[in-house]
Amino acid sequence: MKWLLKELTQEEKECQLKLSNELGIDSVLSRLLVLRGITNFDLAKKFFRPSLEDLHSPFLMHDMDKAVHRLNQAIQNNEKILIYGDYDVDGTTAVSCMFLFLQKIVDKSLLDYYVPDRFKEGYGLSFEGAEYAKTNGFSLIITLDCGIKDNDKIKYAQDAGIDCIVCDHHTPPEILPPAFAILNPKKENCHYPYKELTGCGIGFKLMQAYCEKHGINKDIYWNLVDLVATSIAADIVPIDGENRVLAYYGLKKMNENPVVGLKKLVEIAFSNRNRKLKVSDIVFFIAPRINAAGRLEHGSKAIQLLISSNEEEAEYWAKQLHDVNTQRQDIDKQILEEAIEFIEKDEEFQTKKTTVVFNHKWHKGVVGIVAAKLVERYYRPTIVLTEHDGLITGSARSIEGFDLYEALYKCKEYLYQFGGHKYAAGLSIEKHHLNTFIEQFEKCVRQSITEEIELKKIWVDAVLNLENITPKFLRILKQFEPHGPSNMQPLFWIKNVKDTGRMHEVGNGHLKMYLSQNSHKECPAIFFNGIDYFDKLKGKTFDCLCKIDISDIQNEQIFFNLIIEDIKIN
């Protein structure tokens, strides 16, 4: 990997100096702030002290008045309401959130939810879902995390006398669906100040608006903010602005008094938890268990967990999701091993610019995960394909700086269908076009990819000396949480360090070290999967890239580790 230190302009350097003086903080910390677009005292105050006052009025969102009016009409007239959402974490948390909210103010017999079958119906509002609403007498559908591109399905529902309120955060098409109301900050005519809410977050704003309009205690929706935080972490949206406030308070609630479904899932995922949950814990441990239901079976299992009314019921569904996720991990591992074996046997692989693997037996629900892992291993645009319903179908993942969607578009004459964005996409191919597509995809990538793009780069926030890591530094660094896009956990470049002689293996192949710099300051460090460096590092001076994991702060004692990401021996 090529290490690249992020650069500051002269103007940004001046902001850095001013912030250090005004806030009384280390220049490294002020540099981190400037890199995150925080260039003055007021912005820093908002960043370090997330406040409920920073949440925008939901009525700034276009169509919110209409949506609240239609929802109230349905409630007053005892209409049946169907809550419809996608099968991923954002969709299932959104549906659960809305269901738990509405059951507080609506007769439960008038409520139901619907999650499409990933394999039979696919993503978004389906004709099957609209038909279910029609057959069962629903007159209002609230779509969450989907609907903005489902023009034909929404027209079908509207023609059947069913109004739709769309709550979606995906980029709208040129022609919007004929819904009664569309809540989406990314609409051209929507001037809502924050554009990066999740689908669950937009549903949350609808609940907020309804309560404000009708004088209902805010606790009825605010007690669900931990579900919103879960969606923010899992959907990899920016954690800035309004999302930062929601994630901050959502994590706080998750650690103190979560909804019962999340509580039981956390207990199963972290049987010996001794610290507060972070965004990364949701991403790597909670979200995969929620997602597993839709990947292998049906997303409704996740809903049943998240809307559970008691601990016994929640524990049952949490165990179900845990078991499904374990099964998913086994399938992932097997497919990944088979894919690697296929790649390593390909004599032409070293000269190729792409990775495309196919096996008709692979499980459709996990090929995206495998594609991401292959990108991490081989670092090139990657497609993993399987067979489903007579078509070759799969997922594609890209590398930094390469537009995968554009490459697929150039090969569209050989594709049955495709969709996605710059770094991730889904596609289907008719069998007789498979080999030609693989050749054309390789050709298109080869023509447009550059050596600079192919070089794996890692961007570093700041150079850090071990002597900078004081209790004050760590306390302020802790306040940079929660981390995520737009505020990733800072990555530091620490130069000329060496192990003090206590290096040893921990776990399965990890290195525990105690680093010193110029014979001063000793800091604990962990190098995950670094056992191959055990002999290479003995007595040697090296540079390392690391993050700082602050696990706990108890009075004057701060527990932390340097988490080493990469090493270069001097």
568: CB partners within 8 A, 6+ apart? 3, 542, 543, 544
pLDDT tens profile 517-540 = 987 778 999 999 999 999 899 889
332: CB partners within 8 A, 6+ apart? 366, 369, 370, 373
- Please state the length of the chain: 570
- What are the C-alpha distances in Å from 449 to residues 278, 403, 410? 36, 9, 14
> Regarding the domain delimited by 346-454, which CATH topology (the fold level of the hierarchy) does it fall under?
Diaminopimelate Epimerase; Chain A, domain 1 (3.10.310)
| pLDDT for position 39 | 95
| pLDDT for position 272 | 67
Greatest Cα pair distance in the chain: 77
| pLDDT for position 119 | 77
Q: What is the model's pTM?
A: 0.90
Extract the residue ranges of the chain whose pLDDT is less than 70.
272-274
DSSP state of 529: T
Beta-carbon neighbour count of residue 434 at 10 Å?
Answer: 16
Q: Is the dihedral of CA 301, 304, 305, 311 positive or negative?
A: negative
CATH 3.10.310.30 placement within the chain: 346-454
SS3 of 569, please?
strand
| pLDDT for position 1 | 82
Q: How far is 300 from 294, CA to CA, in rounded Å?
A: 8
Q: How far is CA 488 from the centre of its chain?
A: 12
- Specify the CATH number of the domain 58-258+282-288: 3.90.1640.30
| pLDDT for position 296 | 79
- The mean of the pLDDT values for the chain is 93
The answer to whether residues 370 and 377 touch, using CB atoms and an 8 Å cutoff, is no
| pLDDT for position 273 | 67
CATH 3.90.1640.30 placement within the chain: 58-258+282-288
Query: Whose CA is closest to 241, among 489, 22, 482?
Result: 482
Q: What is 2-6+458-569's CATH number, 3.40.50.11610, 2.40.50.140, 3.40.718.10, 2.40.240.20?
A: 2.40.50.140
Question: What tokens appear for 155 in the block?
Answer: 């027209």
Residue 244 has φ and ψ, to the nearest 5°, of -65, -40
